[in-house]
Structure 1
Amino acid sequence: MDRALFESPSKLLGVARAAAANGADIVQLRNKIDTPRQVTEMARAIKEITRLRGVKLIINDRPDIALASGADGVHVGQEDLPLFWARAILGKERIVGVSTHSLKEAKEAEQQGADYIGLGAIFATPTKPEVRPIGMRLIAKVLKEVRIPVVAIGGINRDNVTNILDAASGMSTKFGVAVVRAVCKAEDPSAATRQLKELIVNRSEALAV
């Protein structure tokens, strides 16, 4: 959930509710617009939604807000608070994920104790126009080298998600995908979440046969 894509907090909460109710395993909050207090209040409201659905909530960049809101963890970028500081704030019980853009960064994140890595941007995305897309080839390379879960992100939607899953087929490392605009900017976020979930489940089952 990227706050920059919504004209009001209530609209963001509505999409978070739709995603949690229709198959999302994790809701991640990215909010670089509001004050720390407002972000914390928003995170607490989302946590109430996700808790009822058994869905995890991850906060971008701010382990302090993750802790204050009762979120399940934090996701930090390469330029954010170092992983070990995030871990010191949140402890071992909560999740700490790290954005990576290369095999080197992925291996370093695993060595430093990340619970999972975000890998991307796979495709160009307006969410982060400054990030150069890495393409799909790196997915298999990273999955061969790390053992913690890998989550692909960046420009992923229902038209290309099966190609992403194909790129990860045959690997033992746990793999997932994250979307932003494919749900946040969808005309019907509930239907968009369901469709993506069905595509992922059906493709994963086909690859497992």
Structure 2
Amino acid sequence: MAPYTGLTMIRYAITSRALYPGSEQKKQAALIAESSRWIAEGINFIQLREKDLPAAEQAHLARKILRTIAFSSSPTKLLINSRPDIALATGAHGVHLTSSPDELTPAQIRTLYAVADQEPPFITISCHTLAEVQLACQNMVDAILFSPVFEKPLPDSRPIPGQGLNQLQAACSIASPTPVYALGGVTLQNASSCLAVGAAGIAGIRLFQFAAAAK
């Protein structure tokens, strides 16, 4: 059924410097080093998701990642979580949105990029229900992160139950032809089952850190 395979699977890495030990300076340095590895490995997307940092520090991290992408002539695209202003200021490739009604719409973000004479941005959005998937498609996003697909363990509380592959399949069906990336509890072992029900790729915070560490 699915047109996607392990060879065509999109890989979408989401940053979290909280995963790294040490001081704030060391955490940010580790984030940059990890991003450089992702770029070297040809990861399709990196979402900079450091929402607690001041805008200037987010922009500093974004510029470092973008310099690495440019230097290596990598196809990797950098998206900024919920901050089109930072994305525009740094020349990032696009923006990731939540499904919150307080977010700018994809149309508004594309207008901002056009006014700034920038290339059209790549816009992804997080969806947790089929209704959100339908709205995202109406708003003409470029890709959807649907989550959580599998149970998501949390270090300090009860795990978040996954919605399952049937719900992911329904999301992919509703979204088509907009690609859907599976998020939440996804591993390299269960990625193929996500592709089998129509997902175009996989996304995660810990997924690619752990994958790199295991090599």
Give TM-score scaled by structure 1 length. Answer: 0.79
1:77 to partner: Cα distance: 0.3
Structure 2: segments with no counterpart, 5+ residues: 1-14, 22-26
Task: Pick the aligned partner of 1:63 from 71, 84, 88.
Answer: 84
Which residue of structure 1 lines up, in the alignment, with residue 103 of structure 2? 81
The CA distance in 2 between the partners of 1:59 and 1:127, in whole Å, is 24
Contact 2:143/2:178 (8 A) holds in 1: yes
Matches within 5 A, 1:165-180: 165-168=195-198, 175-180=200-205
Which residue of structure 2 lines up, in the alignment, with residue 199 of structure 1? none
1:23 to partner: Cα distance: 3.1
Structure 1: segments with no counterpart, 5+ residues: 169-173, 192-209
Give the secondary structure class of the aligned counterpart of 1:113: coil
Matches within 5 A, 1:2-151: 2-7=16-21, 8-51=27-70, 52=72, 53-79=74-100, 81-83=103-105, 84-91=107-114, 93-125=120-152, 133-146=162-175, 147-151=177-181
The CA distance in 2 between the partners of 1:127 and 1:69, in whole Å, is 33
The CA distance in 1 between the partners of 2:48 and 2:97, in whole Å, is 12
Which structure has more relative contact order (CA 8 Å, sep 6+)? It is 2
Give the secondary structure class of the aligned counterpart of 1:122: coil
Give TM-score scaled by structure 2 length. Answer: 0.77
1:124-178 per-position Cα deviation (integer Å, ceiling 9, x unaligned): 335798965322111221222222111111111112112212222xxxxx71111
In terms of fraction of residues, the more helix-rich structure is 1
Instruction: Give the percent of matched residue pairs that are identical in Structure 1 and Structure 2.
Output: 29
Aligned residue identity for 2:34: V
How many pairs were matched up? 185
